[in-house]
Amino acid sequence: MTFYLNEAVRAIAESIRFDSSSCKRSAEMPFGKGAYDCLLHFLSLAEGMGFETHNYDGYAGDVVYGAGEEEFAILCHLDVVPAGDGWTKPPFGGIIEDGKIWGRGAVDDKGPAICALYALKQLKDEGFVPSKKIKLIVGCNEESGWACIDHYKQVATMPKTGFSPDADFPVIYAEKGILHVRLHFPVARAPFLFLEGGSSANMVCSYCCATVRSVGGARAKELGLEVVGNKLISHGKNAHGSTPEQGKNAMLPLLEYFARRNADIRRAVDCLFGDIYGLTALADETGHLTLSPDIVKYRKGELQILCDIRYPATMSAEAVHEKLALFGVKYETVHHQPPLFHEKDSPLIQTLLAVYEECTGEKAEPIAIGGGTYARALENGVGFGPEMAGDAPVIHQADEYITIERVELLLNMYKMAIERSTK
C-alpha cells in the first residue's frame, strides 16, 4: 500500500469542503473567505509535516524543501469554478464513496495539489536531499485571472523550471493560447425584457433564462425550453471551456428561439455557434481553435457575450483578432495568455515521460492541450497529469470526482517525478 494514501484521501476530502470559488473579497482575503480558508488548510497540513511554509497575503502560498541555489516548482491551485447545476452529490461535501472522492476541485486541482504535498512528505521521510530548492506553490486565483501568480512574482522568486499537476498525462509539451473576449451585438427591438446566462468565463453555460412579454409555447417546447410564467429557461451541461464539445450550451436554444424573428440575434448565433467566419478552422499540430460562448447578458440594447477561445500554440493572437474583426461588432479582450510550446525532446519532458512510462507500463508521446495551466508562469514549465486518455470528463462538470486508485498513482508518480527532476 502506498505511504500516506489514507491521509491524502482524507486531506483531499477536507479541502473540497471549502467553497473556494471566487466570491466577496477583502484586503485580507483577496479572493474570498473560502479560498483563504482553503489556503490556510493546505499550509497547515504542510507545517504539520515539518515543512517551511509562506502565506503571501492570501494570494498564494508555498511549501519549501531543500536549499539548492537552483529552484524547481510544482505549481498548483486551490480555487475552483462555481459548482454549477446538475449535481447528484453535494459539490462541496467531500464525500468518499464508491472508491471515489466527490466534489468540486477533486481533480481540478485540489486532489493533485495534496498528492504533490504528500509525495514531498514521503521524500522528506526517506531523507532525500534535493540538489535544488523545491517550491510547491499553491495559488488561489487560477480560474479567474491569475492575480495570485502576479502577486507571487512581486513578493517571492518564481523558479524557472517545474511542472503543474493540472493537466493531462503523459506530459504536455504545448498549451494553446487563451483569449477571453466580450462581444457586443446590438439588438434592435429586442423580443425580451431580460436575458442572462452562464457563471464562469471558462465553463460552458449550463443555465440561461429570459423574461418575455408573451411565450410561443410550441416553439419553446420544440427547442427544449422550460416555460415558467413569462420566463423561458434553458438547461445545458457544464464542461471546461477548452472542450465545449463535452458540454451542452444552454445559451444556444434560447437564442435560437428569438433568432427566428430577430435578425440581430440571428447574426450573433451565426457568428458564434454557426462559426460563419471559420474561427474553428484555424489549426496546427496542437489542434483546432475552440470557441465557447460562456456568459451572456442583455444590457443597454445589446447582447454582451463573453467567449472562451483557445487558439493553436504556434499561431499568434493577431490571427484570431483578424477573424473577430469580420463580425463587425465592438469587442474587448478581457483576458489573454499566450501559448506555451516546448520541444518534445527537452530534458524535463523526457524525464517526466520516463516516469509516466515506468509507473503505467505504457509507451507514450508528449501531447498538446487546449487547457491552460500555471506551467505558463515558468520559463521551462510543463503540465503533468492528473488526467489520462479515456478518463470520464469531469473537470468543470457536475459530479466531479477523483478515484482513490488515481490518488495512489499520483502519490507514486509525483514522488518519482520530483525526485528525478531535483536529484
Catalytic residues: 79, 142
3-state percent helix, strand, coil for the chain, nearest multiple of 5: 30, 30, 40
The DSSP string of 205-272 is --EEEEE-SS--HHHHHHTT-EEETTEEEEE-B--BTT-GGGSB-THHHHHHHHHTT-HHHHHHHHHH
Nearest to 77 by CA among 46, 25, 116: 116
Q: How many helices, marked H, and strands, marked E, lie in the chain?
A: 10, 24
Provide the 10 A C-beta neighbour count for residue 322. 12
Q: Give the residue ranges of DSSP H helices in 260-346.
A: 263-272, 317-325
- Rounded Cα distance between 68 and 53, Å, is 17
Place of cell 440561461: 208
Instruction: Return left, alpha or beta for 363; rule: phi > 0 is left, psi -120 to 50 is alpha, else beta.
Output: beta
The DSSP string of 27-69 is SS-TT-HHHHHHHHHHHHHHHHTT-EEEEETTTEEEEEE---S
Contacts of 363 (CB under 8 A, 6+ apart): 357
- Rounded Cα distance between 176 and 309, Å, is 9
Specify whether the CB–CB gap between 369 and 172 falls below 8 A.
Answer: yes
- Rounded Cα distance between 385 and 171, Å, is 7
Any bridge partners for residue 203, and if so which?
240
Radius of gyration of the chain from Cα atoms? 22
